Structure 1
């Protein structure tokens, strides 16, 4: 499987130890959907910011299924659209060398590349096993989480099945500052190891796991000592309309059965722990 491992590396390196294991591949689905006319208008308050479109390419063949779906602004020459198209390229391998003004061209490039590599790996698995029943799959979605005058947040979700015992999934994302397209990372949080901030994270996880006490919560962790010092997620902070979203990928802090522990800390609560850079970003949020 050396071909696909090379392709997936940029997208899953951050969460490689924590990827989902799924006992059965998802069923193949769909035929070519070259341009899904799904227009999305984003509204913040009473102001329409910009109109987004959803493009998808989905192909099922005799060896498996490959799908790529992406939301992007209708104005593909906008700074926003070019920034997220570049991000998509990086997450899919970083080999595209053309203009970022055509998201569809980038999608087609990686879809064709992936189909070719998937077929090569399918042939290898078939020869090794003497089994032509295995079907491979790779699905990825890029979608908007939030968009306002100061920032927008974009997420990436991935599922693949490459003929082994299990499939894998991951969720990553990024928040861009619109003034200069800076990508926000966990450097925007101060003193996250201090107990007041740790308590904000524990509270979010208690709500996610639907438990009332820390004694119950620590039993949900792979490492019970995380109750005393929770790590920040591998997924960067995702700024939303109401707060900062924390997303832990499977096996990062909990077992597969825990899914992706996710919670949002309201801006009013997290504001004292943010750097000046982040505080300016959420003014009037």
Structure 2
């Protein structure tokens, strides 16, 4: 049975309820959450620090994670560790060391990520003598869609480090339940069909995102020429609507436009999918072939 989840791009907010420190697991004590055959659990941590009297950092991390021992469970937990370790400041440098033991203990991983973020914030504050600023970090990792053959997760983050506004990030990941393979653009779209899919994306962006209701045309809403649009850095997301394509803030458009996105129905790109992708998101069709 398919379960359709919803995902919301992170929005600017102050977390006024985050005074002190807390770690909370699933409220339904002793009860696991099951989603299309996968056992899941959840953990939420919130903490804050104050430094130099007038600098404050607030951190909240909420994670839904698998608890089983299948290959897909291991793949999802490894991805969660990677997202948390590379979520702040320099994406080329891990905030903490990822070990097999840590990957198997998601609550400990989440706490370490929160501690690392606040420690980094404290170092920033220590260099700001006589200057007051507030930081906010709000991270959520959750399922957005589950199907018999795959599960789709997403990492939503909002980070405010001063200035006019914060920044949001949306990073999805779709995993095969059979062997834990994670879909990327390289193993989802046939190389020879990439330009055809990009042309379809541009058409659907115009039809679904840059509409009269949005107040933006493609010419007004893009920082780049439509002719130069490429596949996004955001990995492909699959749900029951099809392939969801999302561009990050500033990737092709200014901050005010947000994250341009569109949905490509599966039947419109079925012929462009690699055998790997077809086996994961269209297993019945792949077997028929």
Residues 204, 262 of structure 2: 8 Å contact kept: no
- State the distance in 2 between where 1:242 and 1:166 align: 32
Matched residue, 2:7: none
- State the distance in 2 between where 1:282 and 1:78 align: 19
- State the distance in 1 between where 2:221 and 2:118 align: 39
- State the distance in 2 between where 1:38 and 1:81 align: 22
- State the distance in 1 between where 2:14 and 2:171 align: 23
Is the aligned partner of 1:234 residue 2:233?
yes
- State the distance in 1 between where 2:107 and 2:33 align: 19
Please, which runs of 5 or more residues in structure 2 have no aligned partner?
Answer: 1-9, 51-55, 86-93
Relative to its length, the structure with more helix (as a share) is: 1
CA displacement at 1:42 relative to structure 2? 6.0
Please, which runs of 5 or more residues in structure 1 have no aligned partner?
Answer: 1-19
Tell me the TM-score normalised to structure 2 length: 0.76
Matched residue, 1:84: 76
**SS at 1:182 equivalent:** coil
Tell me the TM-score normalised to structure 1 length: 0.77
Range 158-167 or range 137-146, more displaced: 158-167
Matched residue, 2:194: 192
Show the 5 A alignment for 1:157-172: 157-164=156-163, 166-172=165-171
Deviation by residue 1:154-201 (Cα, 9 ceiling, x = unmatched): 11122222345542221112212222222211122132213x751344
Is the aligned partner of 1:97 residue 2:99?
yes
Q: In 2 relative to 1, CA 124–164 (structure 1 residues): closer, same or farther, beyond 3 Å?
A: farther
CA RMSD of aligned residues (A): 2.8
- State the distance in 2 between where 1:107 and 1:140 align: 10
Deviation by residue 1:5-35 (Cα, 9 ceiling, x = unmatched): xxxxxxxxxxxxxxx9x9xx74233234412
Count of aligned positions: 249
**SS at 1:183 equivalent:** coil
Deviation by residue 1:21-72 (Cα, 9 ceiling, x = unmatched): x9xx7423323441243568566xxxx4234333110123322201111111
Matched residue, 2:15: 28
Matched residue, 1:59: 47
Residues 30, 59 of structure 1: 8 Å contact kept: no
Matched residue, 2:89: none
Which of 114, 125, 145 lines up with 2:117 in the alignment?
114
CA displacement at 1:108 relative to structure 2? 1.2
- State the distance in 1 between where 2:218 and 2:162 align: 35
